[in-house]
Amino acid sequence: MNEDKAITCVIADDHPAVLDSVSRVLVRSGVDIVAQARNGDDALVEIERHKPQVAVLDVRMPGVNAIAVARQTAEHTAVVLYTGFTDRTSLVEALEAGIRGFVLKEAPLPDVLRAIETVAEGGVY
């Protein structure tokens, strides 16, 4: 990661333990978590407020789901899905919505960091 300027990130998950553990790992790795949210509606508000480089979103949260959030924010924020669901239909829908990264919750947490770095640099993960 570029040490000169931290990647800005909003993270959203409806499970507090997941939100806390992922946030701690990312902050220790130099990611600037500008906001956290526990539902899709709050995630959308925080992304629009902060316009982070990257948003890491659980697919299924109360309120607006991550795919709908991505449709509304993909022009200014790269979205990475962090999910336990492997449904192929959802993945295709996510890609069509402009989502740039996909990480399964069963993957090691460093994979989330790699996804954030990749999409922040314009890539797809």
Report the mean per-residue pLDDT for the chain. Answer: 91
pTM over 0.85: yes
Among candidate residues 82, 67, 60, the one with its CA nearest the CA of residue 9: 82
Cβ-based neighbours of 14, under 8 Å, separated by 6 or more: 38, 39, 58, 60, 61, 62
25-41 per-position pLDDT tens digit: 999 999 999 999 999 99
Give the C-alpha distances (Å, rounded to integers) separating 79 from 4, 100, 123. Answer: 22, 6, 11
Give the percent of the chain with pLDDT over 70: 97
Among candidate residues 89, 15, 92, 54, the one with its CA nearest the CA of residue 46: 54
pLDDT class of 81 with cuts at 50, 70, 90: very high
First CA to last CA across the chain, in angstroms? Answer: 15
Q: Which of 12-16, 18-22, 65-69, 86-90 is predicted least confidently?
A: 86-90
